[in-house]
Amino acid sequence: MIKVLHFYKTYYPDSFGGIEQVIYQLAEGGVEKGVSTEVLSVTPSDKDSCEVISRHVAHKVRQDFSIASNPFSFRVIKKFRELSEQVDIIHYHFPWPYMDIVHFLSGVKKPTVVSYHSDIIRQKKLLHIYKPLMHLFLKKVDCIVATSPNYVATSDVLDIFKDKVTVIPIGLDKATYPIPEQSRLDKWQQKIGQPFFLFIGTLRYYKGLHILLEAATGAPYPIVIVGAGPIENELREQAQQLGLKNVHFLGALPDEDKTALLMLSYGIVFPSHLRSEAFGISLLEGAMYRKPMISSEIGTGTTFINIDNQTGLVIPPSNPSALRKAMDKLWSEPKLAEEFGNKAYERYEAKFTSRQMVGAYAEIYTRLLSESDDELA
């Protein structure tokens, strides 16, 4: 049994983002590969906790303060040192600058893996300060994993460390998604009234939802937005100013409702326009449920999942007109939409299952442990 400690700034049930989903899939899928998982994160709660989530353990240490969406906790250093002594592999999830500090202060001697989820895009001034530490951290870790070849080809940071970069696409296991009862499907079908385009995700600045709202003006089809986030109020205000009656903000929903909406949707619309969107988990969920996709070309994993004119349509970023034309095309050509959806599912099965992701990481863990044993011999 290989024991792995995942370390990231937040985890279930405090938050439900894409990185948390990756950690969950690795933790649950790893059991069959002989990998035992513990997760350490910082929590905004006022007390530390430890709980079993399905088949793995999640440790949470309360944060002391947060700067630019980066939580800091002095107590987490001690907890990280304690847990790292009990495992074989440390698995970091980048970016989180405080994580780098904890790594060096703890004097970790175990093999280390970094899942490189995104460049730092927005905090340019802080990046200038952080860059020396970031480069030192990435230089010291044993293996860096990127989630798509597209991101490797367009990341200046990954280019520096390309000799230690491996690509492992994010994978999902449909069996971990709930099967909604018919009553729940009926509820949403009655509420929305007809087929609809669906967006699922945290409502953040880089998701391009302001572009989607512009594109939705006068559209003959509903658009459903699932999720909450820091720009929710301004998006609702924009929709009101545009007089949009066909856009439904549903807020954050339980997994069973999200699955029901995925099943009922006509297609997935994913207008992220900045490189902060490194992959696109909800795009992949759409592919898993045989849905045609619309996404923007931003040089990241979104166009590794969605191949233009094969699994959906790819448009220029920040272009409401192009987005509207793409939605209109899929809406007016249901046979083409169905064909795209079927090919999206085939691509999911070929490249993006949790089984494939977990297997690739298990091979890395095994290799690093073997190399570590050789060094000690």
Using alpha carbons only, what angle is made at residue 103 by residues 98 and 106, rounded to the nearest 5 degrees?
A: 120
Clarify whether residues 143 and 224 are in a common domain.
Answer: no
pLDDT at 264: 97
In whole angstroms, how far apart are CA 308 and each of 124, 194, 248, 315?
A: 32, 26, 27, 8
Measure the CA–CA gap between 295 and 305, rounded to whole angstroms. Answer: 10
- Report the b/e string of 143-152 with b at 16+ CB within 10 A: bbbbbbebbb
Clarify whether residues 44 and 110 are in a common domain.
Answer: yes
Q: CB neighbours of 136 closer than 8 A, spacing ≥ 6?
A: 100, 104
Clarify whether residues 166 and 185 are in a common domain.
Answer: no
- What is the residue type of 163? D
Rounded mean pLDDT, 148-155: 95
Residue 127 has pLDDT above 90, yes or no: no
Clarify whether residues 181 and 151 are in a common domain.
Answer: no
Clarify whether residues 210 and 338 are in a common domain.
Answer: yes
Measure the CA–CA gap between 192 and 223, rounded to whole angstroms. Answer: 9
- pTM for this one? 0.92
Clarify whether residues 245 and 142 are in a common domain.
Answer: no
- Residue 35: pLDDT band (50, 70, 90) is very high
The tokens of 322 are what? 């192009």
Clarify whether residues 10 and 156 are in a common domain.
Answer: yes
Residue 377 has pLDDT above 70, yes or no: no
Q: Let me know: does 87 contact 109? Beta carbons within 8 Å.
A: no
Clarify whether residues 161 and 140 are in a common domain.
Answer: yes
Clarify whether residues 81 and 217 are in a common domain.
Answer: no
- In tens, the pLDDT along 211-243 reads 999 999 999 999 999 999 999 999 999 999 999
Instruction: Give percent above pLDDT 70 in the chain.
Output: 99
User: Which pairs count as long-range contacts for 177-184, CB under 8 Å and 24+ apart, including other chains?
Assistant: 177/255, 177/259, 178/255, 178/256, 178/259, 179/259, 180/256, 180/257, 180/259, 180/260, 180/263, 181/256, 184/256, 184/257, 184/260
Rounded mean pLDDT, 104-120: 94
Phi then psi dihedrals of residue 259, to 5 deg: -65, -40
Please report where in the chains the tokens 């937005």 appear, as a residue.
Answer: 225
DSSP secondary structure letter of residue 172 = B
Instruction: Give percent above pLDDT 90 in the chain.
Output: 90
Phi then psi dihedrals of residue 224, to 5 deg: -110, 130
Residues in the chain: 377
The tokens of 326 are what? 């793409």
Clarify whether residues 127 and 235 are in a common domain.
Answer: no
Q: Between 197 and 376, where is the model more confident? A: 197
Clarify whether residues 147 and 245 are in a common domain.
Answer: no
Task: Check residue 233 and give left, alpha or beta (phi > 0: left; psi -120 to 50: alpha).
Answer: alpha
**CATH number for the domain harbouring residue 253:** 3.40.50.2000
Residue 38 bridge partners (DSSP): 5, 57
Q: Where are the beta strands (DSSP E) in 237-358?
A: 247-251, 267-270, 293-296, 312-315
Domain count, the chain: 2
Angle between helices 209-216 and 320-332 (to 10 degrees): 60
Residue 291 has pLDDT above 70, yes or no: yes
Range of the domain at 358: 2-173+353-376
Phi then psi dihedrals of residue 312, to 5 deg: 170, -155
Rounded mean pLDDT, 126-151: 94
Q: Let me know: does 305 contact 293? Beta carbons within 8 Å.
A: yes
Clarify whether residues 179 and 169 are in a common domain.
Answer: no
